[in-house]
Chains A and B, each alone.
Chain A
Amino acid sequence: MADLRRFLIRRFITFIPTLIGATLLVYFVAAIVPGNPARLWAGGEKASAEVVQRIIEEYKLNEPWYIQYYYFMKMVLTGKAISPVTHTNVWAEVLDRFKTVTLPLTLLSFIFIIVIGIPLGIISAIKKDTVIDMILRIFALTGISMPIFWLAYLLIAALTGRGLVTLAGFPMPDYSITGIPLIDGLLKGDFEYLSQLLKRLWLPSLLLSYAGIGVLVRLVRNSFLDAYSSDFVDFMIARGFPRRRMYIHVLRNALAPIVTVLGLQFGGLLAGAVITETIFGLPGMGSYMIRAINNFDYLSLMAGVLYVAIIFMIVNLIVDILYAVIDPRVRY
Chain B
Amino acid sequence: MAEEVYEKKVLDRISDALIDGLVSIIDKVKPGWRVKNRGRIEEWKLMLYALNRSPVGLLGTSLVVLFIILAIAGPFIAPVSYDTQIIFCDRDARLAPPRTTVQIPDNPFCRKLGLKPGNFTMLLGGDDYGRDLWSRVLYGARTSLVVAIIVMAVGPWIGVLLGLVAGYYGGKIDELLMRITDVFLVFPGLILAIAFSAVLPYRIQDVLSVHPLLADVMRVLFAIKPENEPQLASLLSVIVALWLVWWPFYARLVRGMVLSAKENTYVEAAKALGVPSWKIMFKHILPNIAGPIIVFYTMDFGGVILTEAGLSFLGLGAVPPLADWGRIIYDGSRYFPDAWWLVFFPGLFIFLTVLGFNLLGDALRDVLDPRMRRSIEFKIKKRVVVEEVSSGS
Contacts and interface: CB of A to CB of B under 8 A. Distances in A.
A67 to B, nearest CB: 21
A175 interface: no
A328 B310 CA distance: 42
Interface stretch (B87-95, B281-289, B340-348): B340-348
B128 to A, nearest CB: 16
Contacts of B184: 25
Most buried by A among B179, B180, B303, B358: B358
Contacts of B161: none
Given A18-B183, A21-B183, A157 B195 contact: no
Contacts of A290: 194, 314
A305 B186 CA distance: 9
A301 interface: yes
B319 interface: no
Nearest to A286: B191
A197 to B, nearest CB: 24
B202 A33 contact: yes
A174 B209 CA distance: 57
B187 A309 contact: yes
A278 B329 CA distance: 13
B33 interface: no
Contact of A147 (B183, B336, B354): B354
Given A32-B203, A267-B188, A147 B347 contact: yes
Interface string B158-199: 000000000000000000000110111011101110111011
Interface stretch (A90-98, A116-124, A148-156, A183-191): A148-156
A78 B303 CA distance: 39
B183 A145 contact: no
Contacts of A313: 186
B238 interface: no
Nearest to B357: A145
A275 interface: yes
Given A17-B179, A144-B358, A293-B194, A150 B188 contact: no
B266 to A, nearest CB: 26
Contacts of B357: 145
The interface centre, meaning the residue of A30, A145, A308, A312 with most chain B CB atoms within 10 A of its CB, is A145
Nearest to A144: B358
A286 B193 CA distance: 13
A308 B200 CA distance: 23
A305 B195 CA distance: 11
A22 B186 contact: yes
B350 A150 contact: yes
A145 B306 contact: yes
Contacts of A308: 186-188, 191
Contacts of A14: 179
A146 interface: yes
A34 interface: yes
B313 interface: yes
Residue of B302, B346, B355 with most chain A CB atoms under a 10 A cut-off: B355
Nearest to A160: B337
Interface string B115-138: 000000000000000000000000
Interface string A16-47: 01110110011001101110000000000000
B56 interface: yes
Task: Name the prevailing secondary structure of the A interface residues.
Answer: helix
A34 B303 CA distance: 31
A270 interface: yes
A150 B343 contact: yes
Interface string B310-352: 1001100000000000100100010011001001101110110
B377 interface: no
Nearest to B186: A309
A137 B362 contact: yes
Contacts of B194: 274, 289-290, 293
Contacts of A149: 310, 313, 326, 329, 333, 347
B188 A268 contact: yes
A127 B314 CA distance: 40
A305 B191 CA distance: 9
A142 interface: yes
Contacts of A151: 347
B359 interface: yes
B309 interface: yes
Contact of B199 (A30, A272, A275): A30
Nearest to A311: B186
A151 B350 CA distance: 11
Contacts of B190: 271-272, 274-275
Interface string B293-308: 0000001001100100
A270 B187 CA distance: 10
Interface in A248-294: 267-268, 270-272, 274-275, 278, 286, 289-290, 293-294
A294 B198 contact: yes
A145 B302 contact: yes
6 contacts: A18-B179, A145-B358, A147-B306, A147-B354, A290-B314, A308-B191
Given A29-B196, A154-B344, 10 more contacts: A21-B179, A32-B200, A33-B202, A134-B56, A144-B358, A149-B347, A274-B190, A274-B314, A289-B194, A293-B194
Interface of A: 14, 17-19, 21-22, 25-26, 29-30, 32-34, 134, 137-138, 141-142, 144-147, 149-151, 153-154, 157, 267-268, 270-272, 274-275, 278, 286, 289-290, 293-294, 296, 301, 305, 308-309, 312-313
